[in-house]
Amino acid sequence: MTLKVAANEAAPSRSRSHLEEIKRFLEPRYDDVALVISELVTNSVKHGATGDIQVMVKTTDDSIRLEVRDGGTGFDTTTPRGEGMGLKIIEALADDWGISRDEDFAVWVELRRRDSVNIS
């Protein structure tokens, strides 16, 4: 699934609502996927996007790959970040994650198919 959303306050909600269309392909990690997408899109709206935000979801039998692209300059993963919880949530849920800079800045997340992770 690939979705483009305008970089505004409705973008996280709109992105999550489109996940409903493919929910059965995201189980048992649907809730985790929805939370990760919401956090990444929120970060794009707050910190980076200069136009549309592109949300991509790719599934295999073993994993789910999420990618959120925007026109921002991005961030350095080795530099300490602010007090927000967004990337801490990503780190807790993701089996792997990172950034890429080609035409646009992107954050990607890999989730293995297993039972959802509880954050306490």
**Is there a domain that residue 60 lies in?**
yes
**How far is residue 24 CA from its own chain's centroid?**
18
Q: Is residue 97 part of a domain?
A: yes
119, part of any domain: no
Query: What average pLDDT does range 93-108 have in this prediction?
Result: 89
Nearest CA among 24, 57, 25 for reference residue 38: 57
pLDDT digits (tens, 9 = 90+) for 109-120: 999 997 545 555
Residue predicted with more confidence, 117 or 107: 107
8: left (phi over 0), alpha (psi -120 to 50) or beta: beta
pLDDT at 116: 46
Structure confidence by residue, pLDDT tens digits, 4-53: 999 999 999 999 999 999 999 999 999 999 999 999 999 899 887 678 99
> What's the predicted TM-score (pTM) here?
0.85
* Domain span including residue 84: 2-112
Task: Give the 3-state secondary structure of residue 40.
Answer: helix
Structure-token pair, residue 88: 């801490």
Q: Does residue 76 belong to any structural domain of this protein?
A: yes
Residue 83: pLDDT band (50, 70, 90) is low
pLDDT in tens, 40-73: 999 899 887 678 999 999 999 999 999 999 877 6
Number of domains in the chain: 1
The CATH number of residue 82's host domain is 3.30.565.10
* Eight-state DSSP code of residue 66: E
